[in-house]
Amino acid sequence: MSNLLDEKFTVVPGVFNPFAALLAKRNGFKAVYLSGGALTSSYGLPDLGMITITELADMVRKIHEVTDIPVIVDADTGFGETLNVYRTVRLLEDAGAAAIQIEDQVSPKRCGHLDGKEVISRENMIEKIRSANMARKKSLIIARTDSRAVKGLDEAVERARIYIDEGADIIFPEALTSVDEFKYVADKVDAPLLANMTEFGKTPLIDAGTFERLGYRFVIFPVTTFRAAARAMDETLKALKSDGTQKNIMNNLMTRAEQYDVINYKFYEDFDKNIAERDKKML
């Protein structure tokens, strides 16, 4: 199994590409969350189940190539039914996923904090969890339930209990609306719990310390880094358009030295130099 559950409590920032994952590790985080919402937005697409499993697995692989930080992967509804879920888990684990999240929404899914979503039957989700369990070798399975907004909090609790009994390792109750609701779930569900602290959604802003005191094992900030980067890029483009120069925004830019440090430029430069020197000695 993944070592994600070795930690008592883990704050997990969302990432959408390898550079963001490198920054997260550099800033001391122990895991990252590859957000479907952030990833699809980075592709210029809405979070409506539009990307494919191969696109998602490719990004996991790219992140895993440059950093060993554990990656929790948002796999939406598993990209289909039981057979698709089996393949999804196999592909994502082979790509380097430490944990794989599957939700109980109807396909095509919607953002968990938007109205109009629907959930599949308990039986259908049980089949998906069983399929995921048969596919995985060491990755953790996170079962997300979106039923709070559709069928009420007690249904979310009941589904969480069933999903754990069927083999899920972690429960993700989506779109809870208050600290009291998070406490209610924690009191009723005896399992590792993951809280979603997205902004501009149905959940008020709650700090990580509160989630830890409530007994949650993880809190994710799935789209925060993307939204911060998007705002920074937009402001930069406005400055370039209006001023025709970057002089007035230089203090907002990461320096070349900082950029190269993040991507471990010196390692690759020295590696190439050492190989070239060895080749010369062999001639």
- Asked whether 129 and 102 are in contact (CB, 8 A), the reply is yes
Q: Is residue 235 part of a domain?
A: no
- Comparing C-alpha atoms, which of 194, 88, 95 is closest to residue 133? 88
pLDDT for res 278: 72
Segment 213-239 mean pLDDT: 98
Same domain, 200 and 101: yes
- Comparing C-alpha atoms, which of 13, 17, 39, 37 is closest to residue 27? 13
Same domain, 203 and 171: yes
Q: Mean pLDDT in the chain?
A: 94
Integer Cα distance of 193 and 217 in angstroms: 6
Q: Is residue 237 part of a domain?
A: no
Same domain, 220 and 266: no
Same domain, 158 and 276: no
Over 50: is that where the pLDDT of 219 sits?
yes
Same domain, 175 and 260: no
Q: Is residue 239 part of a domain?
A: no
Same domain, 79 and 174: yes
Q: Where does residue 130 rank: exposed (0-12), middle (13-18), buried (19+ CB within 10 A)? A: middle
Same domain, 174 and 113: yes
Number of folded domains that form the chain: 2
Which band of pLDDT confidence, cut at 50, 70 and 90, is reported for residue 282?
low
CATH number of the domain where residue 140 is located: 3.20.20.60
Same domain, 261 and 221: no
The number of C-alpha atoms within 13 Å of 99 and in the hemisphere containing its C-beta is 28
Same domain, 223 and 177: yes
In sequence order, the β-bridge partners of residue 172 are 144
Same domain, 147 and 185: yes
State which residues form the domain around 80. 3-229
Same domain, 170 and 271: no
Q: Is residue 22 part of a domain?
A: yes
Give the three-state DSSP class for 47. Answer: coil
Chain segment 163-174, per-residue pLDDT in tens:
999 999 999 999
Is the whole model's pTM more than 0.85, yes or no?
yes
- Comparing C-alpha atoms, which of 18, 28, 124 is closest to residue 71? 18
Chain segment 149-165, per-residue pLDDT in tens:
889 999 999 999 999 99
Over 70: is that where the pLDDT of 262 sits?
yes
Over 90: is that where the pLDDT of 277 sits?
no
Same domain, 264 and 130: no
pLDDT for res 27: 97
Which band of pLDDT confidence, cut at 50, 70 and 90, is reported for residue 1?
very low
